[in-house]
Amino acid sequence: MVFIARAAAPIFSALAGATRTIVTRISLLFLTNLQEISWRL
């Protein structure tokens, strides 16, 4: 059990980091799209 936890820890951390970067990129794209739409309006 301890070995499995130690082996899975870096995988979980990598997944968390990947999801964090994906969320930040999506939020940035959404904000830029909102700015473009507001400029067009």
* Predicted local confidence at residue 1, as pLDDT: 72
| pLDDT tops 80 at residue 2 | yes
* Predicted local confidence at residue 15, as pLDDT: 93
* Predicted local confidence at residue 30, as pLDDT: 93
**Residue 41 in 3-state DSSP?**
coil
Quote the CA–CA distance of 30 and 41 in Å, as a whole number: 16
Quote the CA–CA distance of 5 and 1 in Å, as a whole number: 6
pLDDT tens digits, 11-41: 999 999 999 999 999 999 999 998 888 887 7
